Amino acid sequence: MITIVARCTVRPEKIDEFMKIALDLVDASRGEEGNVSYDLYVDLANPAKFTFIETWKDRAAIDAHNGTPHFRGFGERAGPLFAGPLDIALYRKVT
């Protein structure tokens, strides 16, 4: 399994718009073949900072996810709302 941690900061005036777009992505992604979990977190100290934590069965599932209309649409719709670059890292569970 592979876990993706993706962090972003949204322009404060765009938080509500981002939340709708992000929750649509989460809902659609959870139904995909190979998805184990897909969650969105908000920073307690800064409500404009969000973290997606996703777990996928394998790299093929991630590649398929990255090609879906809802994932590609998220990038197009959410991109202008970000206050800076995304921070994305992939992890393999050790224990």
What band does 12 get if pLDDT is binned at 50, 70 and 90? very high
The pLDDT assigned to 8 comes to: 98
Please tell me whether residue 1 adopts helix, strand or coil conformation. Answer: coil
User: Residue 16 sits in a domain of what CATH number?
Assistant: 3.30.70.100
Q: Which residue range is the domain that position 58 belongs to?
A: 2-92
Q: Residue 90: beta bridge partners?
A: 4
Total domains in the chain come to: 1
Residue 14, both tokens: 């765009």
Per-residue pLDDT tens over the stretch 42-63:
999 999 999 999 999 999 999 9
The pLDDT assigned to 1 comes to: 95
pTM of the full structure: 0.92
The pLDDT assigned to 29 comes to: 97
